[in-house]
Amino acid sequence: MQNTLKGLAGTALCLALASAHAAPKALLIGIDGAQLEKVQALNLPNFKRLNMAKGYTGGVAGSASEQETYSGPSWATILTGVWRNKHQISSNSDGLANPAFPSLFKRLRDAYPQAYLASVTNWGNINKQFFANDIRRNNYNAEGLSDEAVVAKTVELINTTPADFIFVHLDDPDHVGHDSGFGAAYDKALRQADAHLGRLLDAVATRQGASGDNWLVLATTDHGRDPVKGQNHGAQTRSEKTVFIASNQPMNAEFTSPASTVANPAFDGLYGHIAQTWIAPTVLRHMGIEPQRSWLLDGAPLQGSVGVRKLLPASGAANGFSWAASSGQVEIYRNQQLLATVPASQQSYVDTSSPAGLQDYTLLLGSVPVSLRMGRPGLRTALDWSASRSYFFLDDGSYVRYNQTDDKADSGYPKRTNNSSWPGLGSYAGQLAASFSKDANTAYFFLGNGQYVQYDKVADKALPGYPQPVSEQSWPGLAAYATQIKATLRLPGNKVAFFLKDGRFIRYDLAANRADGGPQAMDNASWPQLGVDARRITAALKWDDSRAYFFLDDGRYIRYNLTQNRAEANFPKPINSQTWPGLLP
């Protein structure tokens, strides 16, 4: 018996050593619109080959991370490890995701230039829209395939290529769900998805047995379905927010041990389960890439050391949050700067010194970072496009189209400011300082580095050759103050006011193409009742010939009467869902 035990121990050691030196590979399988409870009720054999846990999508309702439970935002979260307020995919029709938060494809390619990467999808938007730039360096991409064709191609890639990471997207359960909701047809689609899963697992097992590679297989869904009929999704209900994550390998406590009590018990304790944001970090760690604090990922790996768990915004406390952890010291960073170090057992923190606007918090326990974005983005600039429409550019790189007739933001916004939505301007979204329309044909954008862009409103694109410097040739009288411009306001007639960081302003004559003079103080003679807030102005907008708005850096605004040339009484007022519906997410 002792020799047998020694033999078994030796075999286990050999397997462990072999696994330690095996090449890491990963297969991420997405099954669109698969309701966890329906999958469990059907007792599907191939799903049972995996370890499965409940999770949630849609961010935390009522907080900055909330996102609609549509496919676009959810797949973007799965592939980046962050919520919509970072990846900025808010609908199925959006263009490129925010490049500041790359997908798995780009992170893997940057780390492993020779790796074999592939994305094989039924739904084309993932490849063609959200991550079109990231997948360009993949070895193989295909989209718009049937589920059967997706599986057949993926099996072929596993069998015949040195595949390192493959993302697979199956869509039939979602199609059937939209057509007929829960019922016999939906159950049939789930059984077929299970059969597809089995073929993929078999291909991995065969490849792994032949090569000795260490394959991680994760299967997940993007969202659940409405709780009544199961035909729709998009809202913040428990059913629509519920997802699953399944793995062929052992996972850590975040996966195996849901928290029985969390700071936010909504949706029957759903936030005690895994957030969808933990999928991408898990793939990265398995592939030998340790998530970095500077990446601001909203999740952490489900394998290995776990760091803090259940990082959630605290209700009723601005810039307050809670977590689950019992031992060690937690380093708390705000916008990459160390803010505090507290015992992990404290399990909560309120940043009483935080300024207004977006704040990125990262909690580091051991070497594992988990991040949380709180607050609202501030305004960079506002553009008076027409009598019925204006645009607001936010400091997170997104923009909002505002309907002046309805006095509310159009649905589907904010959207990403990029070269698809604003051709020729997208590369400078993070540098916008001021903007105004000269007339129906031309708008100007001023950048924080002292340059400007001329935008053709008819062709809807920046003119070639821009940005150019604000010089004495292009803007006589402004060149010395080009980097100090923080807002502009188109005035009646041919005048524009340029507001400077030091609280002064310059009036510019568009007809004469020169400044009327040097900077002037904003006092009661020039801007009655506005001067006290001059240094707080961050954006200005001409609404019509009689009215303008000034937006301040503390989340308030002032209505200005251009006819009477004075700020109106009882302002500033807060920017909120009643005063500016939909303007700030």
Note the pLDDT of residue 242. 98
Please give the torsion angle defined by the CA atoms of residues 265, 298, 427 and 494, in that order, rounded to the nearest 10 degrees. 30
Nearest-angstrom CA–CA distance, 355 and 337: 14
Mean pLDDT, to the nearest integer, of 250-262?
Answer: 91
Report domain extents, the chain: 26-290, 307-375, 379-574
Mean pLDDT, to the nearest integer, of 456-471?
Answer: 97
Lowest mean pLDDT among 35-39, 271-275, 397-401: 397-401
Identify whether the C-beta of residue 447 lies closer than 8 Å to the C-beta of residue 431. Answer: yes
> Does residue 2 have a pLDDT over 90?
no
Residue 240: both structure tokens together: 């629509």
Nearest-angstrom CA–CA distance, 127 and 113: 20
Tell me the CATH architecture of domain 307-375: Sandwich (2.60)
Lowest mean pLDDT among 122-136, 316-330, 378-392: 316-330
Q: Are strands 537-544 and 566-567 parallel, antiparallel or unpaired?
A: unpaired
Nearest-angstrom CA–CA distance, 147 and 451: 50
Note the pLDDT of residue 94. 85
pLDDT tens for residues 264-273?
899 999 999 9
Note the pLDDT of residue 555. 87
pLDDT tens for residues 572-585?
999 988 999 999 87
Amino acid sitting at position 514: R
Nearest-angstrom CA–CA distance, 76 and 68: 12
Note the pLDDT of residue 101. 96
Burial of 563 (0-12, 13-18, 19+ CB in 10 A): exposed
Task: Using pLDDT thresholds of 50, 70 and 90, give the confidence band for residue 31.
Answer: very high
Identify whether the C-beta of residue 305 lies closer than 8 Å to the C-beta of residue 252. Answer: yes
Mean pLDDT, to the nearest integer, of 345-366?
Answer: 90
DSSP 287-341: TT-PPPGGG--S---SSS---SEEEEEPTTSTTEEEEE--SSEEEEEETTEEEEE
Residue 486: φ, ψ to 5°: -125, -10
β partners of residue 359: 374
Whose CA is closest to 380, among 370, 393, 368, 366?
393
pLDDT tens for residues 44-89?
999 999 999 999 999 999 898 999 999 999 999 999 999 999 998 9
Secondary structure of 96-156 as H, E, C letters: CCCCCCCCHHHHHHHHCCCCCEEEEECCCHHHHHHCCCHHHHCCEEECCCCHHHHHHHHHH
pLDDT tens for residues 201-247?
999 999 999 999 999 999 999 999 999 999 999 999 999 999 999 99
Whose CA is closest to 171, among 92, 279, 281?
92
Identify whether the C-beta of residue 296 lies closer than 8 Å to the C-beta of residue 305. Answer: no
Mean pLDDT, to the nearest integer, of 111-138?
Answer: 97
The structure tokens 């009661």 sit at: 524
Nearest-angstrom CA–CA distance, 337 and 332: 8
CATH of domain 26-290: 3.40.720.10
Nearest-angstrom CA–CA distance, 227 and 220: 19
* Alpha carbon of residue 105 to chain centroid: 16
Average per-residue pLDDT in the chain?
93
Helices 184-211 and 172-180, packing angle to 10 deg: 170
Residue 358: both structure tokens together: 């977006």
Task: Using pLDDT thresholds of 50, 70 and 90, give the confidence band for residue 316.
Answer: low
Whose CA is closest to 397, among 372, 385, 409, 380?
380
Question: Who contacts 381 (Cβ-Cβ below 8 Å, separation ≥6)?
Answer: 392, 393, 432, 433, 434, 435, 445, 487, 488, 539
Note the pLDDT of residue 8. 31
Q: Domain 379-574: which CATH class?
A: mainly beta
Identify whether the C-beta of residue 515 lies closer than 8 Å to the C-beta of residue 508. Answer: yes
Identify whether the C-beta of residue 399 lies closer than 8 Å to the C-beta of residue 392. Answer: yes
